[in-house]
Chain A
Amino acid sequence: MNRPNIRFRQVGRPLTRTDAPGKVTGRTPYAGDYVMPGMLHMGVVRADIASARLVRLDVSKARALAGVACVLTAADLPERTASTDIPGQVGQKRLDTGQQILVRERVRYFGEPLALIAAETRDIADHAMELVEIELEPIPGVYDPLEAMKPGAPVVTAPDNIVAERRIRKGDVEAGFAAADLVVENTFRTPFQEHAFLEPEVGLAWVDENDVVNIRVSTQVIEHFRPIADAIGVPHNKVRIRGALVGGGFGGKEDLTVEVYLALLTKRTGRPVRLEYTREDSFVGHGKRHPFILTYRTGVTKEGKITALDVTMVADSGAYVFLSPYVLLYALVAAPGPYRVDNLNVFARAVATNNMFTSAFRGFGALQACAAYEQQMDEVAQAVGLDRLELRRRNFLKTGEPMSTGFVPPSAIWTDQCAERAWAALGEPAPAEGPRCVGRGIACYQQSYGRLTFLHDTSEAWVGVEMDGTVVVRSGVTDIGAGQVSALGQIAVEVLGVTLDNVVVYNSDSAVTPLAGTTTATRALYMTGNAVKQAAEGVRARLVDRAARAFGVEPDAVDLGDNLAFVVDDPEKSMPLVELVRTCGAEGIHRSELAMFRAPFTDFLDPETGQGQAHPDYAYGAHAVEVAVDVDTGEVEVLKSVAAHDVGQCINPAAVEGQIQGGAQNGQGYALSEEMLYEEGRLITPSFSEYLMPTAMDMPKVECIILESRSGVGPYGAKGIGEPAMTPVAPAIANAVADAIGVRVFEMPITPERVVRALKRRDEAARSGPVA
């Protein structure tokens, strides 16, 4: 092991990301920018009823259209399914939860694919799609998870629609409630959410000279080559995923999207095939955020100490399983939030319906839990008559204390400092004017980074030094816009003592870059950052060793920096890195290293008590906002938005701020305006003019307060920030709205209609006098 870098040269500086110049000049190719000679264009024909039996599917007219190369239906395919279970470099067996590739008989959700068409041009493909004759016989469906649990409900997933069920049983909840002075119970609802990445799903596939199906695709997960191969019936080494910089992911490109369709058609036609989803395809074609119904019953003493917590959660998992069992597990573990609760019961279920299937989305269940526990904390504070921050302070989980699963997070817990700093930064309140009431809210959180430890997650990276002293990094990691690749470059050059312009990172090719696992679960920096650091340290050790011999000193007297190797106490003794590398080259000293980083491997949580380790570690922080609510129109404006997070160690502060500010936008939309309206499972808001995310007119400038405890399990003590950035935003806004108008809206998004209805409720309650 080399001595740690105390004085960073590259890490921790707000460097221009290596990917930035290409992006601002339009030079960066995205998956949709690749074309090939003789390429065909694809379309996907979808069901327009959510629950139905396929009576007739006649594609003969489409097949006969001039310029149509191929039309595929389930009748043309063997009975195979596409895996929907957790992808990546995991050491565990997957659940058997496949989805039919094309509808064979039963349609389970609105938009489920019926047929695939490939044609010479997109116009012809579009025309052919209209020529497909479809007869669907509606079958009674179920669109509400509570209904779906009732006896006699239509069965979407046999036998009883329960897709997953998890529990925590900790301490003695009965005794805890008996010791309470007050019990507060509330039910909160959270909505579907669309990822709304700006780049719709897209890919280009071809069969190469080795009979390997190559797919250039916008994805968070290149390890999907395995389920793709299984779905089309070829060996795993006959599918190669070549990623590209991803135009936004947020979990929405974690599952398979266009890959299997492309693979099938390129195999069938022998020609390159391109498929680009329209925005409407994208809205109906990938899983959404799970809506949750969460009931919190909290026992608390007059002094504000929580003595017991009982939580029930129901998640709508939609028509197919996908990542629901895992999302549910995150919600379960996160149920009490960043608070010490020794007497805890949690009962969580994910339930199948004929709604759009739900899967990964930034925050992954833990965010929905936060939406509930932080609103509940405000309600509890009000019930016991304590300041909101003070109640939280009296219950915060502290460093070294056991969390919900009994596990003690290994890093520092700085929720307290984060909350104080964020709240203070709101400054002087804005004045209320006319119908505009002003309110403030805060929310704290606990969010894991790194995947579930029972998955046995690993990540690999290769680092090498070229003969001229430049550095090459190879790692399969995908870059979904947060600067994942640039951060890896920064870590490699930090260790090797060169500057950022001297590194090139090759990534996201399943055949030639060492597999790094998914860019999901806030794991890219933690896992692959550690792998790159290990690999770079391997190279460094050999370089330093050789330099030490040249200088006639011990290796730990030598450092690398500014493209030089030098003796720390006698910097006159130095040599250019180029010279050192050439010497190593001439003497056959290995100038590269392949490393694997392994997360902690654990067993599954105890199924009865939910006790054990679930994740490698957790991040903590807080978000505070000030809002104005127009009591005439019900409109909410976010005036100030401040985030304070302990990120462990910043690798690139500008990139960290970017994550936080983007998370603030995602969370603000979730809280206030982003609404997916379904009628009998049919999405009636499939465009950006109906599904409203915050624009430049709606977003305040987001202030970031970054704390560094240097205690995380990532490289240099880093934690993760990708998901944590979003998690506390929505409940902070909900709390601010309640603070402004004196009544809570228990269901998100907090639309003007819901605000107006809540105000009516408040005014009616005031007229009828105080109620017991």
Chain B
Amino acid sequence: MSTERTIMLRVNGRDEPGRFPAHRTLLEALRQIGHTEVKSGCEKGDCGACAVLVDGMAVDSCLTLAWTAEGAEITTVSGLGDLDALHPVQQAFSDGGAAQCGYCTPGIIIAAKAIIDRHPDPTEEDIRIGLSGNLCRCTGYTKVFEAVSEAAAIMRAGSDGR
């Protein structure tokens, strides 16, 4: 077995230790330390279910090695908001019926957040390109597109910077 090392991952603003071998992906590591909100759909970078923000960039955590994420700010869907205080993106997805089975949703919401961070007033093209790495089998994307536009509008109006 390969050597293991204890590393500190900074997840949703908290330092969380974990002991992992060199080949452990960030997806597996996050789930191992309890972040089951990060989903596994293919482990090959094809589906986007495992997307998290690493220093503000949406990445597929299944293609990232845990050791390389040491020191980075990692944000999962749970880091954006919780049941009593939904983030505008979460609110728009919830109100707009953009989550059906919900399995792709944690990754898609992360991708949506990254889109809006880059394009506060995203065009349809911006949204499509930003979501092109995230597969969804339930929604046909229509309500997802609408939720991203809606969330961007709410965030522009509120611009509370979250």
Contact = CB atoms under 8 A, between A and B. Distances in A.
Interface of A: 14, 16-17, 19-30, 32-33, 123, 195-200, 245-250, 276, 278-279, 480-483, 654-655, 657-658, 660-666, 687-689, 693, 695-697, 699, 701-702
B68 interface: no
Interface in B43-102: 43-44, 46-47, 49, 76-78, 80-83, 86, 90-91, 93-97, 99-102
A22 B106 CA distance: 11
Contacts of B86: 21, 24-25
Contacts of B27: none
B43 A20 contact: no
Nearest to B134: A696
B139 A14 contact: no
Given A20-B94, A21-B86, A30-B103, A662 B42 contact: no
Contacts of A699: 140-142
B1 A666 contact: no
B140 A480 contact: no
A50 B95 CA distance: 47
Contacts of A247: 39, 101-103
22 contacts: A20-B97, A24-B90, A25-B82, A26-B36, A26-B37, A27-B37, A30-B39, A198-B49, A198-B136, A199-B103, A250-B137, A279-B43, A279-B44, A482-B100, A655-B97, A658-B97, A658-B139, A660-B140, A661-B140, A665-B137, A695-B135, A702-B142
Interface string B126-144: 0111011011111111111
Contacts of B114: none
Residue among B78, B81, B101, B106 with the highest chain A CB neighbour number at 10 A: B101
A354 to B, nearest CB: 27
Contacts of B105: 23-24
Nearest to A725: B140
Contact of A29 (B36, B42, B82): B36
A17 B95 CA distance: 8
A673 B57 CA distance: 30
A688 B135 contact: yes
B109 interface: yes
A693 B137 contact: yes
B145 A696 contact: yes
A697 B38 CA distance: 24
Contact of B40 (A32, A483, A660): A32
Contacts of B152: none
A24 B138 contact: no
Contacts of B134: 696
Given A197-B103, A248-B101, 8 more contacts: A21-B86, A24-B93, A26-B78, A32-B36, A33-B36, A199-B103, A279-B43, A688-B44
A210 B14 CA distance: 41
Contacts of A250: 137
Interface of B: 1, 21, 36-44, 46-47, 49, 76-78, 80-83, 86, 90-91, 93-97, 99-106, 109, 127-129, 131-132, 134-145
A198 B139 contact: no
Contacts of A198: 39, 41, 47, 49, 101, 103-104, 135-137
Nearest to B110: A26
Nearest to B89: A24
Nearest to A249: B101
A748 to B, nearest CB: 18
A320 to B, nearest CB: 25
A interface majority secondary structure: loop
Nearest to A30: B103
A287 B159 CA distance: 49
A25 B132 contact: no
A27 B94 contact: no
Given A198-B101, A199-B101, A481-B100, A27 B83 contact: yes
B132 A697 contact: yes
Contact of B137 (A197, A689, A701): A197
B76 to A, nearest CB: 7
A14 B97 contact: yes
B5 to A, nearest CB: 15
Contact of A662 (B41, B78, B132, B138): B138
Contacts of B140: 660-665, 699, 702
Nearest to A660: B140
A32 B1 CA distance: 25
A658 B100 contact: yes
B141 A245 contact: no
Nearest to A127: B1
Nearest to B129: A697
B77 A24 contact: yes
B81 to A, nearest CB: 6
Nearest to A641: B140
Contacts of A655: 97
Contacts of B131: 695-696
A611 B92 CA distance: 50
Contacts of B127: 696
A159 B75 CA distance: 59
B109 A688 contact: no
A400 to B, nearest CB: 34
A182 B23 CA distance: 68
A524 to B, nearest CB: 14
Contacts of A200: 40-41
Contact of B135 (A482, A662, A693): A693
A662 B106 contact: no
Contact of A25 (B36, B42, B78, B144): B78
Closest A-B pairs by Cβ, 4 of them: A26-B37, A481-B101, A23-B102, A247-B103
B36 A658 contact: no
Nearest to A695: B132
A26 B103 CA distance: 9
A483 B83 CA distance: 19
A196 B103 CA distance: 12
A28 B42 contact: no
Contacts of A196: 135, 137
B19 to A, nearest CB: 12
A19 B102 contact: yes
B128 A278 contact: no
Give the interface centre of A22, A246, A658, A666 by most chain B CB atoms within 10 Å.
A658
B97 A17 contact: yes
Contacts of B38: 26
A246 B145 contact: no
Contact of B99 (A20, A30, A195, A249): A20
Given A24-B94, A279-B44, A702-B140, A481 B102 contact: yes
Contact of A23 (B21, B99, B145): B99
Contacts of B42: 279, 687-688
A658 B94 contact: no
A276 B40 CA distance: 10
Contacts of B100: 481-483, 658, 662
Nearest to A34: B36
Contacts of A249: 101
